[in-house]
Structure 1
Amino acid sequence: MNNNSKKRTFVSSMPLLLASLVWATVSHAEPAFQKASEVDDTMRSLMSQQNIPGAVVTILKDGKPLYTAAYGISNLETKTPATTATVFQSGSVGKMFTSSAIMLLVQDGKIKLDDPIAPFFPEVKGVWDGITIRQVMLQRSGIRDYEEFNSIDIKQNYSDEQLIGLLSSKALDFPPGTQYRYSNSGYIALGILIKRASGKFYGDLLQERLFSQCNMKTAQVNVLKSIIPNRAAGYVSNEGPLENPGPVAQTLSETADGSLLLTINDLAAWDACLSNNKPLTRESVATEWEVPLMPDGTQPVTGYGTGWRNNVVNGHRVIDHSGSFQGFRAHYARFENGLSVALLTNLESARGSYIVRRVAGIIEPGLLPLEKEIAGSAAETQKTKSAIIALMNGSNDPLLGSDIHKVFDNKHVEEIESSFIKVTPDTNLVQVNEEKDNSVTLRTYKATGKKVNYINAEFADNKIVGLKFSAE
């Protein structure tokens, strides 16, 4: 039997293994958390369905822990159990900390959000003129995401100057401030800007000004060669057996787009800091969560603040961010009723947002993901899908309202298709909710392809007059 077949045999036993291994701890729960078994059952089921080796979750209310639990395996080769002390990678959840480092410098008076970034990057003089710090934080700078071009070798180390040279080698996607486009490159640049504005590596600034102040005892920037007690191993899967991720060089493992090491207790401590407005002021946090209008006065297609998403889910406001990198998936969400849920896993393709909402829905059922198809809606849904495809292609359809093309011009279509699933004839679209508000009918659709998104369609006089897209 070859090594590959051994690997397949081992992985196929994972659901049974996960179902039998659960470690749970309750943190400061008074009275005892009454829904612990329901959370455990949900986590076990979802981990089995998604073949997730290990995960940890914490549930908090107004910054105080209700329940914290660990499940499964942190390292498949050593069969080490996951615990609440297991160290995972943050992925892009780290962007909220980069944003917070910027806000600390703003509080210090060292920079202003509307300062231009060009003076901090003299090595690319003239290339990033007109871009402000705020625009980079809001993902409205136009700096192209490095994942869209192949000039960066993730196995190679780069100096700050080399990285900036590579990131600035491509033309801007759009004039600064005019559109939204998610860009890891922008946050890498912010990390270097923090160093040049403060004289400190962004990770050192976070350690001194945020992690230590918030009692985040384990939080740190990833250093590959360091011995990190309880460090988990990350895994990837391409619809096959689990594998170790490919190598990434040290300098690209510590960039400010999301390269932190965290335990679930670190995220619980972070939640408490946010609830207590320290060390960030209430005004700084409000700025991070704000989603300003676009320059033309329109709402942005994507509810993205500075390092945080800000959206409405099932009528409930949620401030959150997800992240995936090097075999890990993380998600942290704060809901408007004071409930927070954080999740860390060691499978890059885990559906972090979905798992968090399933757990949150145990506490508040209104937060559960909408999934069940409305009976008898399939035929009308097919017509809606055809209309959405036509709209995205700039074509007409009998179901489209007369003014909707004015809103969904080429710019907005580009924003949607860069952030969400592109609706095609192969997309599985099902209607999962319907509400009426006077003469307007709001229908919610779940769109499933390579990823899962939701589409809220407003109908008036049997015509689509509005569309809103949101992540799972």
Structure 2
Amino acid sequence: MKRLITLPLLCIVLLTGSCQYKSIDEYIQKQYLDGELNGNILVVRGDTILYENSFGIAHPKTKEPLTAAHRFNVGSIYKEFPGVAIMQLFEKGRLKLDDKVSYYLNDLPVWASSIGIKQLFKYTSGLPKVPWDNYIGSNNPITEELVLNDLRKEELVFEPGSDYLYSNYNPLLLTLIVEKVTGRSFEDYVQEHIFEAAKMTDSYFAKQTPYKDEKSPAVAFDVDFNLDSYLIQEPKFLMSFTTQDLYQWLYHLHNHQIISKESVKLLSERAGAQSPLGVLEWDNDTLEVHHHHGESGNYEAVIRYYPKDDLYIVILKNQKYENVSDMADNIHRILR
């Protein structure tokens, strides 16, 4: 694990130019006092922690205080992991990115023979959106089989490669391809080849929501302190992380200890708003920023990496205010 050094809080007073805040802590405390922060924050430069703190509670009923050990769902940020797993298998020659989905998954409609793996990456597959609204509030738990059964009834909304549509069906099919190629569950593969490789010692796949017998879950709730109502019994949809582990992820990914730089660049290609890695901005061969925002119910998360500044920002919330990207922007602005 990359060893982090904690910088004393009193040493974080920074020159801010026109910014009204003199330190990260002053800004973050203002967000908390304004009632717009319930979550964990980590800011690292190199191997030095500039700021790490927890605000609010892990559960609205127990009022358990959040700590750095609490784990959060990160919404669509999870899709980085199916994409990276596929690239690991590609680098080992175990699949080709132009292979059709039907080559690996033979229980899907005929359209699977027209979609290539790379089109799943780019959200140019033509797969429709997952009808999440049909599941939220239902008494039936969300499972992989439930989602797949609905997918088998669907038609493509456009010819593969001709347009862009963000759909969670794409990373789901990538996880199934990983399982077919490796003969292992996606969870077991990720645990060994990604979590362990990136020294992500506290990351795991929860078994269900509402959580039962999980270690240190940060439970999501709304501004009225009502718990999220959806039922999930599918670990693939319940990847859970600490801020420290997401820092480790960004560090090892961009030091090319998980996949090569060429694979990162390929995985960051966008046909529309996002790639599997979110939004990566490049200046020719030089990465300028890795940004990824995710949300699920009342969970909201953002991860940022600025290579030029060797700066990492991770914000995880279990009460959503739709402001984590703005917070990351402001933290970066303070540090500049």
Aligned counterpart, 2:329:
357
Q: Give the Cα–Cα distance (whole angstroms) in 2 for the partners of residues 98 and 35 of structure 1.
A: 39
Q: Give the Cα–Cα distance (whole angstroms) in 2 for the partners of residues 317 and 154 of structure 1.
A: 43
Question: Deviation at 1:243?
Answer: 1.3
Aligned counterpart, 2:187:
203
Question: Deviation at 1:327?
Answer: 2.6
Tell me, yes or no, if structure 1 residue 173 matches structure 2 residue 157: yes
Q: Give the Cα–Cα distance (whole angstroms) in 2 for the partners of residues 171 and 269 of structure 1.
A: 39
SS in 2 for 1:146: coil
Percent of paired sites with the same residue: 22
CA offset digits 1:424-471 (Å, max 9, x no partner): xxxxxxxxxxxxxxxxxxxxxxxxxxxxxxxxxxxxxxxxxxxxxxxx
Q: Give the Cα–Cα distance (whole angstroms) in 2 for the partners of residues 165 and 274 of structure 1.
A: 34
Aligned counterpart, 1:34:
12
Aligned counterpart, 2:174:
190
Which amino acid is 1:342 matched to?
Answer: V
Aligned counterpart, 2:252:
273
Count of aligned pairs between the two proteins: 319
Question: Deviation at 1:111?
Answer: 1.2
Which amino acid is 1:247 matched to?
Answer: Y
Q: Give the Cα–Cα distance (whole angstroms) in 1 for the partners of residues 145 and 62 of structure 2.
A: 40
CA offset digits 1:376-434 (Å, max 9, x no partner): xxxxxxxxxxxxxxxxxxxxxxxxxxxxxxxxxxxxxxxxxxxxxxxxxxxxxxxxxxx
Q: Which runs of 5+ in 2 are unaligned?
A: 15-21
Tell me, yes or no, if structure 1 residue 232 matches structure 2 residue 232: no
| TM-score (ref. length: structure 1) | 0.62
CA offset digits 1:62-84 (Å, max 9, x no partner): 46543322222222322222121
- Residue pair 1:63, 1:271 contacting (<8 A) in 2 also: no
Question: Deviation at 1:120?
Answer: 2.2
When residues 29 and 157 of structure 1 are mapped into structure 2, their CA distance, relative to the original with a 3 A threshold, is closer
Q: Which runs of 5+ in 1 are unaligned?
A: 1-25, 292-299, 365-472
Q: Give the Cα–Cα distance (whole angstroms) in 2 for the partners of residues 168 and 50 of structure 1.
A: 44
Aligned alpha-carbon RMSD (Å): 2.8
Aligned counterpart, 2:28:
43
Q: Give the Cα–Cα distance (whole angstroms) in 1 for the partners of residues 256 and 47 of structure 2.
A: 11
Which amino acid is 1:321 matched to?
Answer: H
Q: Give the Cα–Cα distance (whole angstroms) in 1 for the partners of residues 205 and 247 of structure 2.
A: 18
Q: Give the Cα–Cα distance (whole angstroms) in 1 for the partners of residues 135 and 322 of structure 2.
A: 28
Mean Cα deviation higher: 148-157 or 79-88: 148-157
Where relative contact order (Cα < 8 A, 6+ residues apart) is larger, the structure is 2
Aligned counterpart, 1:331:
302
When residues 55 and 340 of structure 1 are mapped into structure 2, their CA distance, relative to the original with a 3 A threshold, is same
Mean Cα deviation higher: 103-112 or 219-228: 219-228
Q: Give the Cα–Cα distance (whole angstroms) in 1 for the partners of residues 136 and 108 of structure 2.
A: 17
Q: Give the Cα–Cα distance (whole angstroms) in 2 for the partners of residues 64 and 281 of structure 1.
A: 25
Which amino acid is 2:12 matched to?
Answer: Q
- Residue pair 2:222, 2:228 contacting (<8 A) in 1 also: yes
In the alignment, which of 310, 329, 337 is matched to residue 280 of structure 2? 310
| Structure number with bigger Rg | 1
| TM-score (ref. length: structure 2) | 0.85
When residues 31 and 83 of structure 1 are mapped into structure 2, their CA distance, relative to the original with a 3 A threshold, is closer
Mean Cα deviation higher: 206-215 or 169-178: 169-178
When residues 75 and 320 of structure 1 are mapped into structure 2, their CA distance, relative to the original with a 3 A threshold, is same
Aligned counterpart, 1:286:
265
